Structure 1
């Protein structure tokens, strides 16, 4: 039975026609999954086991995979033309070149992933099809993926809510004296039990350990009077979550509670600022100015990012940094994540939510719990 196609087809066609491409050859795990619907896990663990999803603007397509993955590809992908090669006997690039010739595309203008396909393999492909014109298409496919379909939005919503509940449950179960690692382990177990296929990341630190952007949770106990922060994510049916929450242990000083309220106000106002037409740089500047209005020191290189499929590079365009000229569009799914460090008093706070950009304003997808007050572990 053919798999489901959930890629943004109208946007793909528009971008292909604008680029003047006869076909595009996609090889990265995230783009093969996005365009074919098949999640081939060995693409990520065995670098030479390449898979290629090749499509025209009209969705004439061919899917080239290792023969070990052929049965899964036929079941999971919507592409009926699946070709396979025998690992180590045949080179995947030769199988790709043969398929392109059979489709009559060997003289065409072909897009490819210049930032993914190894130079040696691309050179072999270029030599096998010397009359083809090869055009880097990385930015094009990233732009296609940036605007989500309604089905994709629901997948991101489910991923965000499940991750949020996983974090909240771990906080509810935790007690002062528990180790950072035990709390973080519970978060990861909760995500898997909630339906995650795999974990992308989960970092948790309290006290001074929380000052590290990607703290390694260890045997340090949760100590009353301190605050901590977690940043966790997983893949759910190929779609990722990425959320951050802060937490207090026991009775914490008022200045920590006050800083948390200010940081959350910054986050919520920045989410409200997400509107079509505004660039990533403009959102960054708004957030930076919100820190100043709230009286908190700003020290972030970026304040958010788009969400990727299959983990991808984790931070997908548009990235909300001072140099991002990419304008927001309705249908983009954006994470906003202001981070506050207080190096003098040795604590840090972080909050990150997932939002959908719409013409009528941003809609928060990670809406399963109330973050208005800092959660306290007692």
Structure 2
């Protein structure tokens, strides 16, 4: 499954992962007359898969920053606009954007938002409620928009966009499945190629290379060795009989795979088998409650009940969250654990197309950090675990 451009690169509204009717309904419910999206992940989603490669790993340029803007007016799809960097004219020439108004005229945040305001005025939205993303709008851009539209009310629309993305389409799920499979393969290759004396820095770099070789954009690697619970890179080395916890996110055309797997240098002893089995039992108890109509609260209760039955319950922890274009997106299932948000979707019935990350961590005082994290999707019949292979101990035989 190799692509030069995203398989979600929409050339018409029919290719989008959402419908204009759904967007209109969300805006009407929030009382929004217009929407201005400026985060790279939401612009990518609303455009249907496109992201400008020049700014894929940075934002700053000159004395300002890249600020793409997707503008939508409720009930007026013909006035949809994309306000882009001047260099994006070349992308348009190769694969034209579907938006009726493509404006590659800008370099920074102020000129982008000034042009957005002019567009809204021409479309008859000089007042009313305009939704924007508070955490993805620089102050100078906000000031330019507010000053140009003094009669309007600027309100946060971040949650409306998050909700729009919550149910994934089949092409989105295919990307998440493939991203997770490639991370799993990369982890197996990394563990089996690492051995006695390999440092954390070396292991993380090897994983980065393995994921890059599989055409993933490497995001991070959280790594522990031996009895340490510290997950940062260092010169610590792996030694015979020690465990490795390797937790990584890599994205494929914007969609993030996120799993954790366990390695051991040499064959695992009975205690290690039992410890990972205790973690796996919690995961399986949670999986059993993942189906349409069930709730996050039920899943969490089942996972935590199994956790309490384990011999190492006081060292164990269970967590679950949504996944997709960003880590920790809707559904939001747990409160302040560990990321500071409210579990507002805990009682919301699961629906097909939701994507969850389910993780159990045992911080054993002498054997180390033992964790499994899995990506799980809701299907019509129940659920599917992505990257479900090699969930036991992955053995490296390079102990000498």
Same fold by TM-score, threshold 0.5 exceeded? yes
- Does structure 2 retain, via aligned residues, the 8 Å contact 1:143–1:317? yes
Change (3 A) 1:146 1:192: same
**Once the 2 structures are TM-superposed, how far is the Cα of residue 269 of structure 1 from its aligned partner?**
2.1
SS of 1:45's partner is coil
- Does structure 2 retain, via aligned residues, the 8 Å contact 1:8–1:147? no
Match of 1:360 in 2: 381
Asked if residue 339 in structure 1 is aligned to residue 361 in structure 2, the reply is yes
- Does structure 1 retain, via aligned residues, the 8 Å contact 2:195–2:239? no
**Once the 2 structures are TM-superposed, how far is the Cα of residue 147 of structure 1 from its aligned partner?**
0.9
Change (3 A) 1:285 1:77: farther
Distance of 1:121 and 1:285 partners within structure 2: 44
Match of 1:105 in 2: 125
- Does structure 1 retain, via aligned residues, the 8 Å contact 2:307–2:316? no
Out of 242, 251, 276, the position equivalent to 1:226 is: 242
Match of 1:207 in 2: 226
SS of 2:134's partner is coil
- Does structure 2 retain, via aligned residues, the 8 Å contact 1:53–1:64? yes
Match of 1:245 in 2: 261
- Does structure 2 retain, via aligned residues, the 8 Å contact 1:64–1:96? yes
Asked if residue 189 in structure 1 is aligned to residue 213 in structure 2, the reply is no
Asked if residue 32 in structure 1 is aligned to residue 48 in structure 2, the reply is no
Pairing of 1:44-55 with structure 2 (within 5 A): 45-47=58-60, 48-55=65-72
- Does structure 1 retain, via aligned residues, the 8 Å contact 2:66–2:108? no
Distance of 1:144 and 1:204 partners within structure 2: 34
Out of 139, 143, 148, the position equivalent to 1:128 is: 148
Match of 1:325 in 2: 344
Out of 270, 284, 288, the position equivalent to 2:286 is: 270
The one-character-per-residue Cα deviations of 1:44-72 (angstroms, maximum 9, x if unpaired) are 52242211001245534100012123332
**Once the 2 structures are TM-superposed, how far is the Cα of residue 338 of structure 1 from its aligned partner?**
0.8
Change (3 A) 1:230 1:135: same
Change (3 A) 1:205 1:12: same
Out of 22, 27, 33, the position equivalent to 1:22 is: 33
Pairing of 1:304-323 with structure 2 (within 5 A): 304-309=320-325, 312=326, 314-322=327-335, 323=342
Distance of 1:76 and 1:115 partners within structure 2: 29
Distance of 1:7 and 1:133 partners within structure 2: 29
5+ long unaligned stretches in structure 1: none
Match of 1:176 in 2: 196
Asked if residue 72 in structure 1 is aligned to residue 91 in structure 2, the reply is yes
Change (3 A) 1:143 1:76: farther
Count of aligned pairs between the two proteins: 368
SS of 1:303's partner is strand
5+ long unaligned stretches in structure 2: 1-8, 336-341
Asked if residue 63 in structure 1 is aligned to residue 76 in structure 2, the reply is no
**Once the 2 structures are TM-superposed, how far is the Cα of residue 157 of structure 1 from its aligned partner?**
0.6
SS of 1:184's partner is helix
- Does structure 1 retain, via aligned residues, the 8 Å contact 2:176–2:324? no
TM-score of the two chains, using structure 2 as the length reference: 0.84
Asked if residue 8 in structure 1 is aligned to residue 8 in structure 2, the reply is no
Asked if residue 87 in structure 1 is aligned to residue 87 in structure 2, the reply is no
Change (3 A) 1:15 1:2: closer
SS of 2:151's partner is coil
The one-character-per-residue Cα deviations of 1:194-216 (angstroms, maximum 9, x if unpaired) are 121x211112221133x13xx12
Distance of 1:299 and 1:11 partners within structure 2: 44
Distance of 2:50 and 2:122 partners within structure 1: 23
**Once the 2 structures are TM-superposed, how far is the Cα of residue 277 of structure 1 from its aligned partner?**
4.4
Match of 1:137 in 2: 157
Distance of 1:269 and 1:88 partners within structure 2: 50
Give the stretch that moved more between structures: 262-271 or 282-291.
Answer: 282-291
Distance of 1:256 and 1:106 partners within structure 2: 65
Give the stretch that moved more between structures: 93-102 or 17-26.
Answer: 17-26
RMSD of equivalent CA atoms: 2.5
Higher strand share: 2
Out of 364, 369, 394, the position equivalent to 1:348 is: 369
**Once the 2 structures are TM-superposed, how far is the Cα of residue 298 of structure 1 from its aligned partner?**
5.0
The one-character-per-residue Cα deviations of 1:310-335 (angstroms, maximum 9, x if unpaired) are xx4x2212233255131232211111
SS of 2:150's partner is coil
